[in-house]
């Protein structure tokens, strides 16, 4: 089971979900090139001008690990990266779990993507204004969570830190790209985990993805926000587990 | 209060009203905006300051709107993707820069700090948010960012220009190396055939000697052939001088006494000086020595002086001034004549190898090339000022 993070953070986003599957699955976490602890110098803007390059990266990792029957779990933009990877190499993947997927963020005729071009420009502007948050290391954090001491050590590596120029480029690729045409080509069974109130990937978009992906199942979590795996990890884990059980029951 | 009063000021009396400061009033009228939200962003409590900034009545927003609604859409996107996960993972965010959207559609730049309060079971309970108005600071920041972007653009342009320069520099360098090696092989490869031709001319001359009639008849042709051979050999000699100069890219320099060199050259050129009735005015007392190699200093002086005599004006006897001066960085040698002068348009061609501007004067076209090359090899330079019909001044800068 491979977990791929969305835009704006890194693999640490899965910390409340991924451990729940470690007993049953071989769990793989990765940072997309340009994020987290990846080699930032490997981020060549020309190569990463579409999501396909990230999908190739994911497949390369899986091939190096000799992973088969892969359950791909992708959040946000990485949901689409999973769709592309499954289209490129259908035999490698057994199921896709897409958390808050959106194939296209802009409103088009007959497609309610949710945003206008001006909104995306505003996002880029907000990113520029928060340059420090994206780039500089956060000071070591002492967290008031005595029951989760492992958190503290990890936090000193800082969360969701990235290079501002890369974040800006990746934001453009993510929010101005259009991967709607890639959906119908995917035959891998997929679970769409949709937050009931998601500003970034609204319900209508989740329904669209469900409609376009043959053999997909849409589960709407009664949560708010774009990151149910962070805000409602238990519900997310339960929905994932339920889907995995019903599509491929584990021997008891 | 009178500032210039001599009366001692009364000590401040504690205003008892200060003790009326209440936490509630401090919250409502604080010089910053406060609000509390549910973990999904639903607003549950706002202070009066924030409501006044926004232009909303309390009942319009409490339980009806989310924090995200109060931001621009781009800001809300950023908060959802970055701020919210950070809050949930680390329990707080600091100094996120956003624009608040007022009820009337205008915006207000703010910095947002937030803490997440968890329930007894660890589940997220409430977000406490503080907003600071940063209108002026924001202007300043925008200006900084604008100039930073500008500087970055210029840096990129400069880097590109630099790369282009390096490329053409490298091309020029290669072209120079090619030219040097061409000159070297030309001077080398032409030597053998011309020696052969000279031998054959000699042989022809000997064989013709048996027939005095024919010899007489062909004598002018033989003489011209011999003359051409000589000219050819001289050209090859010049070429090999050039290659020697190139090999000795930076020959060792010493402080060469200038006057003896000038005197030596003058003696060499004495026949020409006498024949043209030239006057030489030498004033090199202000720089007794020149930092250069002896051999090439002689070549520089010889070439400049002989040119001054050769390219004399037909209407007047040559008058040549050789002077020098000491500057901070250079010893400067000047040779001024009252000769033909050179049109400005031809100045650049003067120093090209085998380029000759006057055919009526004997010359190889290599002298000034050698002067320029040897001086530039030492980091110096040669300049020319000239007025056609009046005369020319060649200035040589020898760096210290």
Q: What is the pLDDT of residues A149-197, one digit of tens each?
A: 444 434 433 557 667 788 888 988 999 999 999 999 899 999 999 999 8
B324: phi then psi, degrees, rounded to nearest 5:
-145, 160
* pLDDT grade for B19, boundaries at 50, 70 and 90: low
Specify if A133 maps to a domain. Answer: no
Residue B25 CA to residue B14 CA, distance in Å, equals 20
Q: Are B109 and B134 in contact (CB under 8 A)?
A: yes
Residue A96 CA to residue A20 CA, distance in Å, equals 17
Tally of structural domains, chain A: 1
CATH number of the domain encompassing residue A185: 3.40.50.1820
Does residue B10 surpass a pLDDT of 70?
no
Q: How far is CA B81 from CA A77, A134, B204, B323, B351, in A?
A: 11, 12, 99, 79, 69
- Token code pair at residue B347: 């100045």
Q: What is the DSSP letter of B365?
A: S
Nearest CA in chain B to A155: B90
Does residue A251 surpass a pLDDT of 60?
no
CA dihedral B54, B55, B60, B65 (to 10 degrees): -20
Alpha carbon B212 to chain centroid, angstroms: 71
Other C-beta atoms closer than 10 Å to the C-beta of A222 total 10
Considering only the beta carbons, identify the residue of B73, B85, B97 that sits closest to A115. Answer: B73
Contact: B74, A143; criterion CB under 8 Å: no
**Per-residue pLDDT at B15:** 65
**Per-residue pLDDT at A252:** 43
End-to-end CA distance of chain A: 19
Range of lowest pLDDT (A90-94, B33-37, B131-135, B264-268): B264-268
* pLDDT grade for B359, boundaries at 50, 70 and 90: low
Range of lowest pLDDT (A51-65, A78-92, B174-188): B174-188
Least Cα distance to A72 among A93, A54, A52 occurs for A93
Contact: A197, B145; criterion CB under 8 Å: no
Specify if A169 maps to a domain. Answer: no
Does residue B384 surpass a pLDDT of 70?
yes
Which of A5, A54, A76, A102 is an active site residue? A76
Contact: B78, A126; criterion CB under 8 Å: yes
Q: For residue A7, list chain B residues with Cβ-Cβ distance below 8 A.
A: 81
Does residue B252 surpass a pLDDT of 80?
no
Specify if A7 maps to a domain. Answer: yes
Domain range enclosing A198: 2-115+177-247
**Per-residue pLDDT at A96:** 95
CA dihedral A72, A75, A77, A78 (to 10 degrees): -20
Q: Please state, rounded to an integer, the average pLDDT across all residues of chain B.
A: 86
Q: For residue A143, list chain B residues with Cβ-Cβ distance below 8 A.
A: 90-91
Q: For residue B84, list chain A residues with Cβ-Cβ distance below 8 A.
A: 225-227, 230-231
Residue A18 CA to residue A28 CA, distance in Å, equals 9
What would the pLDDT profile of A120-157 be if each residue is shown by its tens digit? 888 888 888 886 544 433 333 333 344 444 444 344 33
**Which of A148-152, B217-221, B239-243: highest mean pLDDT?**
B217-221
SS3 B259: helix
Q: Please state, rounded to an integer, the average pLDDT across all residues of chain A.
A: 85
Residue A239 CA to residue B302 CA, distance in Å, equals 98
Specify if A132 maps to a domain. Answer: no
Query: Is A76 among the catalytic positions?
Result: yes
B193: phi then psi, degrees, rounded to nearest 5:
-60, -35
In angstroms, the separation between the Cα of residue A214 and the nearest Cα of chain B is 28
Does residue B364 surpass a pLDDT of 80?
no
Q: Is B117 on the interface with A (CB under 8 A)?
A: no
For residue B393, the surrounding DSSP H or E stretch is strand B391-399
SS3 B195: helix
Specify if A78 maps to a domain. Answer: yes
Residue B14 CA to residue B270 CA, distance in Å, equals 109
What would the pLDDT profile of A199-216 be if each residue is shown by its tens digit? 889 999 999 999 999 889
Residue A14 CA to residue A1 CA, distance in Å, equals 12
**Per-residue pLDDT at B166:** 93
**Per-residue pLDDT at A144:** 38
Residue B313 CA to residue B309 CA, distance in Å, equals 9
**Per-residue pLDDT at B28:** 95
Q: For residue B90, list chain A residues with Cβ-Cβ distance below 8 A.
A: 138, 141, 143, 155, 159
Q: Residue holding tokens 């202007």?
A: B139
Given CA atoms A232, A236, A239, A242 in this order, what sign does their dihedral have?
A: negative
Least Cα distance to A184 among A212, A220, A159, A208 occurs for A212
Q: Is B95 on the interface with A (CB under 8 A)?
A: yes
- Token code pair at residue B308: 């001054």
- Token code pair at residue A203: 């319900």
Tell me the percentage of chain B whose pLDDT exceeds 90: 31
Length of chain A: 252
**Per-residue pLDDT at B213:** 83
Which of A5, A54, A226, A229 is an active site residue? A226
DSSP state string for B338-349: -SS---GGGGGG
Q: Which residues of A touch B (CB under 8 A)?
A: 6-9, 12-13, 15, 76, 115, 119-130, 132-134, 138, 141, 143-145, 147, 155, 159-160, 197, 199-200, 223-227, 230-231
Q: Is B145 on the interface with A (CB under 8 A)?
A: yes
Range of lowest pLDDT (A164-168, B12-16, B23-27, B215-219): B12-16
Does residue B21 surpass a pLDDT of 80?
no
Does residue B128 surpass a pLDDT of 50?
yes
SS3 A14: helix
The mean per-residue pLDDT over the stretch B264-269 comes to: 86
CA dihedral B239, B243, B244, B249 (to 10 degrees): 140
B378: phi then psi, degrees, rounded to nearest 5:
-95, 10
Does residue B85 surpass a pLDDT of 90?
no
B239: phi then psi, degrees, rounded to nearest 5:
-60, -40
- Token code pair at residue B204: 């022809």
**Which of A34-43, A230-239, B354-363: highest mean pLDDT?**
A230-239
Which of A11, A79, A126 is the mutation pick for testing B, counting most B CBs within 10 A?
Answer: A126
Tell me the percentage of chain B whose pLDDT exceeds 70: 90
Specify if A131 maps to a domain. Answer: no
Residue B33 CA to residue B54 CA, distance in Å, equals 10
Q: Are B98 and B75 in contact (CB under 8 A)?
A: yes
Least Cα distance to A78 among A139, A23, A14, A149 occurs for A14
Query: Is A226 among the catalytic positions?
Result: yes
Contact: A197, B40; criterion CB under 8 Å: yes
Q: What is the DSSP letter of B10?
A: P
* pLDDT grade for B127, boundaries at 50, 70 and 90: very high
Q: Is B75 on the interface with A (CB under 8 A)?
A: yes
**Per-residue pLDDT at B215:** 81
DSSP state string for B27-79: HHT-SSEEEEE-TT-BEEEE-HHHHHHHT--HHHHTTT-BHHHHB-HHHHHHI
Those residues whose C-beta lies under 8 Å from the C-beta of residue A157, and which sit 6 or more positions away, are: A37
CA dihedral B395, B396, B397, B400 (to 10 degrees): -140
Contact: B122, A147; criterion CB under 8 Å: yes
SS3 B321: strand
Nearest CA in chain B to A117: B74
Does residue B3 surpass a pLDDT of 90?
no
Q: How far is CA A6 from CA A228, B65, B81, in A?
A: 12, 26, 8
The mean per-residue pLDDT over the stretch B148-172 comes to: 92
Does residue B17 surpass a pLDDT of 60?
yes
Q: For residue B41, list chain A residues with Cβ-Cβ distance below 8 A.
A: 224-225
Residue A70 CA to residue A86 CA, distance in Å, equals 10
Least Cα distance to B382 among B343, B340, B345, B352 occurs for B352
What would the pLDDT profile of B294-335 be if each residue is shown by its tens digit? 778 888 888 899 888 888 888 888 999 999 988 888 899 999
**Per-residue pLDDT at A155:** 40
**Per-residue pLDDT at A151:** 44
Strands B124-133 and B107-118: antiparallel
Which of A10, A198, A210, A216 is an active site residue? A198
Q: For residue B68, list chain A residues with Cβ-Cβ distance below 8 A.
A: 199
Q: How far is CA A214 from CA A65, A86, A190, B378, in A?
A: 29, 13, 8, 79
Those residues whose C-beta lies under 8 Å from the C-beta of residue B141, and which sit 6 or more positions away, are: A129, B97
Residue B226 CA to residue B220 CA, distance in Å, equals 10
């Amino acid at each position: 089971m491979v977990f791929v993070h969305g835009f704006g953070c890194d693999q640490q986003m899965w910390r409340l979900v991924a451990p729940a599957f470690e007993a049953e699955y071989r769990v793989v976490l990765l940072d997309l090139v340009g994020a987290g602890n990846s080699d930032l110098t490997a981020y060549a803007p020309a190569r990463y001008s579409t999501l396909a390059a990230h999908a190739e990266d994911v497949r390369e990792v899986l091939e190096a690990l000799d992973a088969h029957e892969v359950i791909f779990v992708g959040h946000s933009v990485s949901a689409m990266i999973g769709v592309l990877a499954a289209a490129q190499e259908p035999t490698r993947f057994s199921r896709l779990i897409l958390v808050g997927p959106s194939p296209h963020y802009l409103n088009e005729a007959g497609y309610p993507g949710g945003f206008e071009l001006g909104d995306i420009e505003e996002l880029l502007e907000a990113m520029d204004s928060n340059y420090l948050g994206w780039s500089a290391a956060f000071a070591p954090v002492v967290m008031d969570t005595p029951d989760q001491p492992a958190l503290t050590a990890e936090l000193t590596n800082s969360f969701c830190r990235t290079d501002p120029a890369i974040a800006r480029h990746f934001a453009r690729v993510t929010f101005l790209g259009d991967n709607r045409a890639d959906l119908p080509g995917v035959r891998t069974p997929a679970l769409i985990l949709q937050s009931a109130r998601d500003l970034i990937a609204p319900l209508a978009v989740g329904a669209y993805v469900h409609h376009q992906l043959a053999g997909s199942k849409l589960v709407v979590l009664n949560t708010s926000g774009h990151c149910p795996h962070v805000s409602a990890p238990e519900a997310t884990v339960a929905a994932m587990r339920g889907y995995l059980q019903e599509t491929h029951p584990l021997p008891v | 209060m009178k500032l210039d009063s001599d009366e001692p000021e009364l000590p401040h009396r504690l205003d008892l009203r200060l003790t009326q400061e209440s936490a509630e009033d401090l919250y409502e009228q604080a010089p910053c905006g406060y609000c509390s939200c549910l973990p999904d962003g639903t607003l549950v409590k706002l202070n009066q300051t924030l409501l006044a900034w926004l232009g909303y009545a309390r009942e319009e927003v409490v339980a009806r709107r989310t924090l995200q609604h109060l931001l621009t859409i781009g800001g809300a996107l950023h908060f959802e993707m970055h701020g919210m996960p950070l809050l949930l993972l680390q329990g707080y965010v600091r100094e996120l820069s956003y624009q608040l959207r007022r009820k009337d559609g205008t915006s207000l730049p703010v910095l947002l700090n937030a803490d997440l309060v968890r329930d007894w079971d660890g589940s997220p309970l409430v977000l406490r948010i503080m907003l600071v108005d940063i209108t002026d600071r924001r202007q300043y920041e925008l200006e900084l960012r604008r100039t930073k972007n500008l500087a970055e653009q210029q840096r990129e342009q400069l880097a590109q220009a630099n790369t282009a320069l390096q490329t053409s520099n490298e091309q020029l360098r290669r072209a120079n190396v090619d030219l040097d090696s061409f000159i070297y092989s030309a001077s080398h490869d032409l030597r053998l055939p011309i020696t052969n031709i000279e031998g054959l001319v000699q042989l022809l001359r000997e064989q013709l000697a048996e027939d005095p009639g024919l010899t007489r008849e062909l004598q002018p042709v033989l003489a011209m052939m011999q003359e051409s051979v000589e000219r050819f050999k001289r050209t090859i000699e010049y070429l090999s001088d050039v290659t020697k100069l190139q090999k000795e890219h930076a020959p060792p320099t010493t402080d060469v006494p200038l006057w003896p060199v000038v005197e030596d050259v003058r003696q060499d050129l004495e026949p020409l000086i006498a024949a043209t009735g030239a006057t030489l005015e030498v004033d090199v007392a202000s720089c007794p020595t020149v930092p250069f190699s002896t051999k090439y200093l002689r070549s520089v002086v010889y070439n400049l002086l002989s040119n001054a005599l050769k390219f004399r004006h037909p209407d007047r006897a040559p008058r040549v001034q050789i002077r020098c001066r000491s500057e901070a960085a250079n010893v400067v040698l000047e040779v001024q004549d009252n000769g033909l002068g050179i049109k400005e348009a031809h100045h650049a061609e003067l120093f090209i190898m085998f380029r000759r501007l006057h055919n009526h004067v004997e010359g190889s076209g290599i002298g000034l090339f050698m002067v320029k090359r040897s001086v530039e090899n030492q980091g110096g330079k040669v300049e020319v000022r000239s007025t056609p019909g009046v005369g020319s001044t060649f200035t040589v800068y020898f760096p210290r």
